[in-house]
Amino acid sequence: MPATRPTTRKSRIRFCPKCGSVMYPRVKDGKRQLFCPRCGYEMEIGEEVLEAYKVKRKVEHSPREKIIVVDADKAPSTAVLLKGQVRCPKCGGDEVYFWMMQTRAADEPPTRFYRCKECGYTWREYA
């Protein structure tokens, strides 16, 4: 069987048709769309796709890059609050939750996650 594009039946998370990165939802000019943070590709989406992103509660792996989408509603209980050590790239706040999660192969270092206490912006950093 030839390789096909990832099925969207089980997961509605979409991958960029140009570079294969996980696409993220956003609203631009009043229209819902997905955009690729890597190459900037944009596509308009319907409400049902957005809903799929909203209810997403598990780690997703892109077939090509193993980029993950993590539920970012809140930091896990293992998160540590850092004060004055890390700055939020969005609002500049310096109270940031930090935690680590094994998102890739077990022999690779865990991914570091940060979440701004002030604005809730969440980002990650590979060790």
User: Would you please indicate which residues are annotated as catalytic (active-site) residues?
Assistant: 107-108
C-beta closer to Zn ion: residue 18 or 31: 18
Asked if 88 interacts with Zn ion (CB under 5 A), we say: yes
C-beta closer to Zn ion: residue 74 or 108: 74
Long-range contacts of 100-107 (CB under 8 A, 24+ apart): 101/70, 101/76, 103/59, 103/66, 103/68, 103/70, 104/66
From the list 3-11, 56-64, 82-90, 98-106, the region that binds Zn ion by CB under 5 A is 82-90
Asked if 36 interacts with Zn ion (CB under 5 A), we say: yes
Q: Letter for the amino acid at 38?
A: R
Q: Letter for the amino acid at 91?
A: C
From the list 46-54, 69-77, 86-94, 100-108, the region that binds Zn ion by CB under 5 A is 86-94
Furthest C-alpha separation in the chain: 54
Tell me, rounded to whole angstroms, the distance of Cα 23 from its chain centroid. Answer: 9
Q: Which residue has the tokens 């206490």?
A: 117
Asked if 91 interacts with Zn ion (CB under 5 A), we say: yes
Binding site for Zn ion (CB under 5 A): 16, 18-19, 21, 36, 38-39, 41, 88, 90-91, 93, 116, 118-119, 121
